[in-house]
Structure 1
Amino acid sequence: MTSPKITVNGDRLWQSLMDLAEIGAYDDERTGLRGVNRLALTDADAAGRRRVVAWMKEAGLAVRIDQMGNIYGRREGTDPTAAPVLTGSHIDSVATAGAFDGCLGVLGGIEVVRTLNERGITTRRPIEVGIFTEEEGVRFGTDMLGSAVAAGRLTPEYAHALTDRDGHTLGGELIRTGFAGPTDVRLAPPHAYVECHIEQGPVLAENDVPVGVVTGVQGISWQEITIHGRAAHAGTTPTHLRADAGLAAAQIIVHLRSLVDSGAYGDLRATVGHLIVHPDLTNIVPARAEMTVDLRNPDDAQMARAEEALAAFLRDLENSRPGLSLTTRRMAKTAYVPFDDSVQKVIAQAADDHALEHISLLSGAGHDAQEIAALCPTAMIFVRGEYDGISHNPREYSTPEACAHGVDVLATALLRLADQD
């Protein structure tokens, strides 16, 4: 017998989102809006974690923290031997965030538990709500870090040794903030994992539907390129005698766009999100440039071809410019991850039962779900965003109704998965 559909308290969910958004809040000069800056394991992130842990405990969840600072709140089922159904996301942010990215999945999971409690609904399997550490990868340079270690793709030793730009290690910051937990970080395989997240794109709005059933996550490649040139006087050094690191960085950016525009590498996307030159003075030719390259592709073979094309260009650039040398460092690499068909069907049926139109779509952004997919059947629910789905920006916005619809689907899907044999 199929478990019934359930509807959450949308007003309470919205209030939780707005309350959490006040932790790490700042006034954004560019947009004139209130934004969120809650980088992983900063004081703001620690304060946000403490607030959410308090909400978990108020909802009756038993809380545990692992050696990566991942947090899990557990609602027991009637069968103590059954593997749990896991949901969750992250609450760390980029430096210019809105209120929804990651947070909707965590707070939505807590709202599901509140609703089950209020209705006196028991489940066969336990339900757990997770908060994963450093999903964004902004501070320590590797995205989906907590979930990657929990799933076994990365080791805790590797993760703990990562440093931010000020030289602070992740392991040290876990201790400093009080989130170096005692629990083994390797996660026992759940029965299933469902993550609810804002879309962070325009597809749902373009199709005028409220819910997306996510089929998978495209491949992601991050690397850091350092260009070593030679500092020189801007007025006295002839152009042909310069080893200009800034010019080389510009040429790399232009070449990346040409790779995308060529169409030869499938649905490739390329972004240089960080670029800085040294000594960063008006009248000095840059001696060094540091930049990051973010490549995305839903086809692993096409991604590999694009990476090789970039590497070949870097070799040619170095060889053709006397005085230039380039080094690269891999920051992160994840392959295309398809999601489980059976979990997608549970999500789609839940949306149908709530009379919510939905479409299937691939995620362009990385999510903790792609890591947990290595452990158990996994899929995601996307919630429609406004303003072309803009994200990583204070203009990021999903309506209270859209958030409630997405978590209604999450609640019904979790209930049905938690009642499976």
Structure 2
Amino acid sequence: MSFEEMWAALRPVGRDAETGGYHRFAWTPAEVECRSWFADEARRRDLEIETDPNGNLFAWWFPPGNGRGDAVVTGSHLDSVPGGGAFDGPLGIVSAFAAIDLLRERGVRPSRPIGVAAFAEEEGARFGVACLGSRLLTGAIAPYRARGLRDRDGRTLADVLTGHGLDPERIGPDEGLLSRIGCYVELHVEQGRALDAPVGVASAIVPHGRWRFDLAGEGNHAGTTRLKDRRDPMLPFARLVLAAREAAERNGTLTTVGRVEVAPNGVNAVPSAVTAWLDGRGPADDAVRRTVAEVHEAALRAAREHGVGVELAEESYTEVVDFDVPLRDRLAAVLGGVPVLPTGAGHDAGILASRVPTAMLFVRNPTGVSHAPAEHADAEDCLAGVEALTTVLKELAGG
């Protein structure tokens, strides 16, 4: 199947007909359907399919007579954020299959294996930890902690994996698999307005993380509880949101409070608890850490004023990731000197960079919007991305 045919087949899966946004959370029916699509495309090309103990998918092209090590791996992820765009993740996987087709059509006989990867729970939309599959693979998260992660319905990762035929006791670092990967190159839609050419190469991923604030107050009746008698956690929460914006402006960072849960969540009830998640990113580790500390201090001050407790937990954090410089420069050169730019978005490539040489290709996004339905890449730029990935795979895998 061509790029256009694969894209058309995958595009409706998990799409909300009214908003155009995608809901492909890890191991839910929509994402499982995407996994089936992945397996079908691998079989169509006679690729060897592998599911590692962490739920990551791999499709391998092992040229006859060649070993299974020192592979060139490409790919991305199939899951989405709530109401996300079509291109974030799937573009890299569809492009990978299309690039293999072009290599074969052109008679390329690679001297190294080529793999296509689909990493599990990259967005962290279901279990709260971004790049969970690649973190488990590389040992960046402890298996015992991952097994206990819960989704919004209270189901643990261990329970969900068991329900899909995986053994939660086997999750964790896979040194054998990692030793077979010579390098990883991820193609991804650019998620801002920084790229003014069809294709670019990533230089680095800026520091980023997620923090959970738990604010505990006292539930009560909205109509009979005097203002001075209330211990309302929504008030320090409101201060927390404002403090996040103020701290970001002071420190040159980005902060977002994009998810909040209120208990008991009743119109006529003073809340008893609020849980809020803070996303923080910035150009340097100290700036991000300082921003979070300032938000925490502002929340504590407001909480003391209103008789509310506050607890802060770091759910994930990734320091600045500088992609492999020789690999980056090699890719930029073979592609004719395309732009090289950093990104504020996290990726599996950033996690794998701690264990294998890693690089990223970006495809232009004319809207500058991502994690929303308006995320877009023009067809011509997508095909330019496929051509660039094909060139890169030939350069790295030989042939």
Q: TM-score range by the shorter chain?
A: over 0.9
In 2, Cα distance between equivalents of 1:298 and 1:151:
24
How far did 1:154 drift?
1.6
Q: What does residue 256 of structure 1 align with?
A: 244
Q: What does residue 333 of structure 2 align with?
A: 349
- TM normalised by structure 1 equals 0.88
Aligned residues of 1:18 and 1:99 also touching (Cα < 8 A): no
Q: What does residue 188 of structure 1 align with?
A: 178
How far did 1:360 drift?
1.7
In 1, Cα distance between equivalents of 2:237 and 2:68:
56
How far did 1:180 drift?
5.5
Q: Which range moved further: 108-117 or 182-191?
A: 182-191
Give the letter for the 2:354 counterpart.
A
Counterparts in 2 of 1:17-416, with a 5 A limit?
17-28=7-18, 31=19, 34-77=20-63, 79-80=66-67, 82-178=69-165, 186=174, 187-189=177-179, 190-204=181-195, 208-262=196-250, 265=251, 267-322=252-307, 324-352=308-336, 358-387=338-367, 389-416=368-395
Q: What do you get for the CA RMSD once the two structures are aligned?
A: 2.1
Give the letter for the 1:419 counterpart.
G
How far did 1:306 drift?
1.9
Aligned residues of 2:139 and 2:172 also touching (Cα < 8 A): no
Give the letter for the 1:253 counterpart.
V
Q: Structure 1 pair 99/18, CA: closer, same or farther in 2 (3 Å)?
A: farther
How far did 1:359 drift?
1.8
Give the letter for the 1:162 counterpart.
L
In 2, Cα distance between equivalents of 1:184 and 1:62:
22
Aligned residues of 1:46 and 1:177 also touching (Cα < 8 A): no
Q: Percent identity?
A: 33
Aligned residues of 2:108 and 2:394 also touching (Cα < 8 A): no
In 2, Cα distance between equivalents of 1:240 and 1:142:
39
1:69-108 CA-to-partner distances (Å, cap 9, x unmatched) read: 1111111145416410111110011221222110011111
The secondary structure found in structure 2 opposite 1:343 is helix
Aligned residues of 2:136 and 2:171 also touching (Cα < 8 A): no
Q: Structure 1 pair 161/36, CA: closer, same or farther in 2 (3 Å)?
A: same
Q: Structure 1 pair 100/251, CA: closer, same or farther in 2 (3 Å)?
A: same
User: Which residues of structure 2 form unaligned runs of 5+?
Assistant: none
In 1, Cα distance between equivalents of 2:28 and 2:369:
25
Aligned residues of 2:136 and 2:172 also touching (Cα < 8 A): no
Aligned residues of 1:64 and 1:183 also touching (Cα < 8 A): no
Aligned residues of 1:66 and 1:184 also touching (Cα < 8 A): no
Aligned residues of 1:65 and 1:179 also touching (Cα < 8 A): no
